């Protein structure tokens, strides 16, 4: 009987972790019907490193889904990659207000902090990711590597 409860519990935990990992976001964004079409278009533009057009598309997606942390995070990413660091900071902050545990936003904001010479803040984001990703995640690994390779 105890074995049966253990197996059921293990299955439930694994399914919850899998759903949380997908819902929290990552740099492995995939097109989805749950997002505005402009979001999916922006994903392809970002993949092609066409950040200016991606921003325009994400602005359309933002108009359709104002409280979507993934959209805010990608707006931050595209602005950061375009060299618009102040705008990037604004969007990462917005994503984290909407979802304080958004792994992608914590990673990318940490990378922005490094670009701005603020290693201490990047380490704070790393600590947050370490608590969220207690089984590990790519965002934690990527930010840890960025901090390790950081040269002021």
CATH number of the domain within which 86 lies: 1.25.40.10
Q: Could you tell me if residue 13 is inside a domain?
A: no
Q: Could you tell me if residue 70 is inside a domain?
A: yes
8 pLDDT higher than 90: no
For the CA atoms of 88, 91, 97, 99, what is the dihedral angle to 10 degrees? -100
Domain extent for 87? 26-149
Q: Could you tell me if residue 95 is inside a domain?
A: yes
Of 22 and 58, the structure prediction assigns the larger pLDDT to 58
Q: Could you tell me if residue 20 is inside a domain?
A: no
Q: Could you tell me if residue 103 is inside a domain?
A: yes
Instruction: Provide the token pair at 6.
Output: 């253990």
Number of domains in the chain: 1
Q: Could you tell me if residue 81 is inside a domain?
A: yes
pLDDT > 90 in the chain, percent: 76
- Determine the Cα–Cα distance for residues 71 and 52; give it in Å rounded to an integer: 15
Of 33 and 80, the structure prediction assigns the larger pLDDT to 80
Q: Could you tell me if residue 1 is inside a domain?
A: no
For the CA atoms of 24, 28, 34, 35, what is the dihedral angle to 10 degrees? 100
Q: What predicted TM-score, i.e. pTM, was given to this entire model? A: 0.79
What is the DSSP secondary structure assignment for residue 133, as one 8-state letter? T
- Determine the Cα–Cα distance for residues 80 and 91; give it in Å rounded to an integer: 10
Give pLDDT tens digits for 97-137: 999 999 999 999 999 999 999 999 999 999 999 999 999 99
């Amino acid at each position: 009987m105890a074995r049966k409860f253990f197996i059921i519990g293990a299955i439930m935990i694994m399914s919850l972790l899998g759903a949380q990992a997908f819902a929290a976001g990552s740099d492995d964004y995939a097109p989805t019907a749950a997002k505005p079409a402009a979001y999916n278009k922006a994903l392809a533009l970002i993949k092609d490193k066409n950040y200016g057009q991606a921003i325009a598309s994400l602005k359309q997606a933002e108009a359709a889904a104002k409280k979507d942390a993934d959209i805010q995070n990608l707006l931050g990413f595209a602005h950061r990659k375009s060299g618009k660091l102040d705008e990037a900071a604004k969007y990462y902050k917005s994503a984290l207000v909407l979802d304080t545990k958004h792994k992608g936003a914590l990673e990318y904001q940490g990378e922005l902090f490094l670009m701005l010479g603020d290693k201490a803040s990047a380490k704070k984001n790393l600590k947050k990711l370490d608590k969220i990703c207690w089984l590990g995640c790519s965002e934690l690994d990527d930010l840890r590597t960025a901090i390790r390779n950081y040269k002021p």
